[in-house]
Structure 1
C-alpha cells in the first residue's frame, strides 16, 4: 500500500493496455496518466526541478517559469505547490480551459498568449515572452524543457527501463514527439543498452520537429513550431507524421471501447498502427506505444462533437459511428 507525503512521489509505471481487441494489431499501450499530475510530464517536471535545486538556482525569492501547452504546466504547478515555489506558466489559446483551471487551483499564475509568432507560431511567441520576462527580472528561473537534458534523463532513468523490464523481447517502440524528452530518453537508453529495439517517433502533420513544413495544429501536446534543442535524430530509426483528424478518430475508437485517452495518445496509436501495417504486416512482433495522458481534460474539444465538426468537418467521426452501430 503506497503511503506518500509529496504528490510527485506516486506514479503508476507498469500499466499496459492490449490494443489487439480494438485495433486488431499486436500493440501494447503504456499508460502514463495515472498520477496526481495526470500525465507523463510529472517525470520531466520532477527531474528538472530537482536539478535546478541541486545547482542552487531555486531560492525563496525564485519564480519558476515555463512555456507549456498544458500537461507540464500542471505537473510543475503541483510540485511548486508542494515545495512552496511560485510558478508562472506561459501557454496559449490551444491549452484546454480545464487545464488552466487545474494550474490556477494549485496556486500557479497562467499567462495565455493569444497571438502566434508570424513564422514560428504559438510556441515561438511563448518562448519570446519567457525570454523577455527573464531578461527583465532575475527572480525568474526558466527550466526550458526544450533544451534541458534533465527532461530526457527522467525517461532514461524510469520510462525506458520499465518498458525493457516488462518486454524483454521488445521489437518496436512508438514515442510521440513533443519536446522530444520522452523520445530521447527512451531512444538513448535502448541504444546504450545495446538492445535491438526499433524506435519510431510519431509526430503531428504541421510540426517542424523533423523538418516538415509548418502548419496549423489544434491539439496540444505533440508537435512543435520550433525544433527542440534536445532532439538528436541519430537515435531515431523512423518517423511517422499523423494528420490530426486521424488522432481524433483514434481516441474515439478507444473511447468506444471504454478507454478515454488524450489527443497525443490518439496520434501515437494512429501512427503505430499505420507503421506496423506497412512494415510488419503478418509478422510476429512485440510493439509498445507510450500514452502520455488520459482524456478527461479534452472533453470540451476532442470529445465534443460541435468542436470536432467546426475544426475537422461534419464527417470526421462518420466511420466510427458506422463501425460501432449495433
Structure 2
C-alpha cells in the first residue's frame, strides 16, 4: 500500500481566498471574482501593523463595518488570535452576525442615525471612538482613511498585469474607495491610458450626488473616505438597487457566477461598456460571492415585498450634465480624472451664471 505524504506548505483558508479568480465572460469582457475582497486588505493591514509593533496578541482590534470588511477582519483575527470588536448596523443580518461571533468577534449594532452629516456610518464611527477610549491597548484599521488599505491591492494589480497583455478598461464598484484607488493606481504605472470606470449607487455622496437612502448596501457611501482618489476616474455610473439585483441574477444565470449585488452592478456597467467598445479588453471587479444574499437578492418573495420584482432593467444609462442632477435611474457622468472639488466647483460656477 502506498502512503500519501502531505507536502508543505499549503495555504490556509485566509491566504487561499485573498486573490480573485480571473474569468472570461464573453469576447473581451472578463471578471475579477473575489470570494471576499475585503479579506485582502484586512490581512494586509493587520500583518503590517504587527510588523510595525502596533499590534500584539493582547491588542484589541476595533472597526466599523457593514458586513464584508468585518468578516474579513474576523477571519484574520481568528487566525492571528487577536480580540476583535466590530461596530455595525442593522444591515448585518442575523446569519452574518452569528458567523462573526462564531469567529470570536464581539458585535455592537448601532440603530440610530448620527445627527450630523454621515448618517449611520458616522454613528458607527462615533461608537468606534467611544469603545476605543475604553480600550487603551487597541488598534483601529481605519478602512476609510488608512492608506495601507490602498497598498493591499498591489497584489491584485500584479496578478492582472501577469495575466493580460493589456487592459483597456477597469470597472470598479466604489464603497470605501480603497480597491478602485489601489488597483487602478498600480495599473496606471503599467498602462497609463487605462480607463477607470467607477460604479456608485443612488443615495451615495461619493461623487457629488445628493445624499439619500441607499437600498444597495456595500456600494456607495454616506461620507467621503480619505482613501478614495477621485482624480483616477474617467467616468462614473450610478446604478439603482433594482437594476443591480436583476443583473446579479442574470450574472448567475448566464455565467454561473454566484455573486453579490455589488458584483451585479459592476457587471451591468462592464457589459454595456464592452458592447460599445468591441475589441477592447474590459475587467469588472466583483467583490464577494452571493451566499450572504440568499434571503434577499436571490429570494423572489423578498424582491416582491421590497418592490424589486421583475427583471426589466435599463439598457442604456442616462447621460447627465452633473452629479447634482442624479435621479433614480442608471446614470452616467464623464468624470474626466478631476478631483471632487473641481467637479463640485464646476456646478457652483454654472449655478452662479
Q: TM-score, normalised by structure 1?
A: 0.87
CA spacing shift, 1:219–1:96, aligned 2, 3 Å? farther
Deviation at 1:61, TM superposition (A): 2.7
Task: Give the whole-Å Cα distance in 2 for the aligned partners of 1:6 and 1:139.
Answer: 28
- Structure 1 segments (4+ residues) deviating >6 Å: none
Root-mean-square deviation (CA), in Å? 2.2
Q: Alpha carbons of 1:153 and 1:12: their partners in 2 closer, same or farther (altered >3 Å)?
A: closer
Q: Deviations over 1:18-41 (max 9, x none)?
A: 333xxxx741111111xxxxx011
Local SS of the residue matching 1:77: helix
Q: Which moved more, 1:68-77 or 1:255-264?
A: 255-264
Q: Distance in 1 between matches of 2:144 and 2:37?
A: 15
Q: Tell me, what secondary structure is at the counterpart of 2:152?
A: helix
Of 23, 31, 34 in structure 2, the residue corresponding to residue 32 of structure 1 is 34
Cα distance, 1:77 vs structure 2: 0.7
Give SS of 1:10's match: helix
C-alpha separation in 1, matches of 2:8 and 2:219: 32
Unaligned runs of 5+ in 2: 1-6, 314-353
How many Å apart are 1:312 and its aligned residue? Answer: 2.9
- For the pair shown, the structure with the greater C-alpha radius of gyration is 2
* Cα distance in 1, alignment partners of residues 149 and 187 from structure 2: 17
Partners of 1:71 and 1:85 lie apart in 2 by: 18
- 1:213-232 to 2 correspondences below 5 Å: 213-232=210-229
Cα offset, 1:5, TM superposition = 6.2
CA distance in 2, matches of 1:237, 1:246: 22
Cα 1:276/1:205, change in 2 over 3 Å:
farther
- Is the Cα contact below 8 Å between 1:123 and 1:226 reproduced in 2? yes
In the TM superposition, what whole-angstrom CA distance separates every residue of 1:52-107 from its partner, at most 9, and x where no partner exists?
11221212331101111111111111111111110011111112332222211111
Question: Aligned pair in 2 of structure 1 residues 6, 282: CA closer, same or farther (>3 Å)?
Answer: closer
Deviation at 1:49, TM superposition (A): 0.3
Q: Matched residues in 1 for 2:100 and 2:217: separation?
A: 16
From 281, 289, 294, give the equivalent of 1:294.
289
- 1:282: how far off? 5.4
1:312 lines up with 2:318 in the alignment: no
For 1:114 and 1:94, how far apart are their aligned partners in 2?
Answer: 10
Q: Does 1:10 align with 2:16?
A: yes
1:290-318 CA-to-partner distances (Å, cap 9, x unmatched) read 111110111111112222222234x4336
- Give the structure 2 partner of residue 324 of structure 1: none
Distance 1:226 1:2 in 2: 45
Instruction: Give SS of 1:94's match.
Output: coil
User: How far, CA to CA, are the matches of 1:159 and 1:102 in structure 2?
Assistant: 27
Match of 1:77 among 63, 69, 74: 74
- Superposition deviation, residue 283 in structure 1: 2.9
Number of equivalences: 306
Q: Which residue pairs with 1:178 in the alignment? A: 175
Shift of 1:261: 0.7
The 2-side partners of 1:219 and 1:187 are apart by: 23
Asked whether the equivalents of residues 64 and 85 of structure 1 are also in contact (C-alpha less than 8 Å), the reply is yes
1:93 correspondence with 2:90 = yes
Match of 1:137 in 2: 135
TM-aligned CA distance change 1:136 to 1:2, over 3 Å: same
CA distance in structure 1 between the aligned counterparts of 2:286 and 2:81, rounded to whole angstroms? 30
Q: How much does 1:115 deviate?
A: 1.7
Answer yes or no: is the 8 Å Cα contact 1:240–1:275 preserved in 2. no
Residue by residue over 1:179-213, the C-alpha shift from the partner in whole angstroms, topping out at 9 and shown as x without a partner, is 11110111211222344211111111111111111
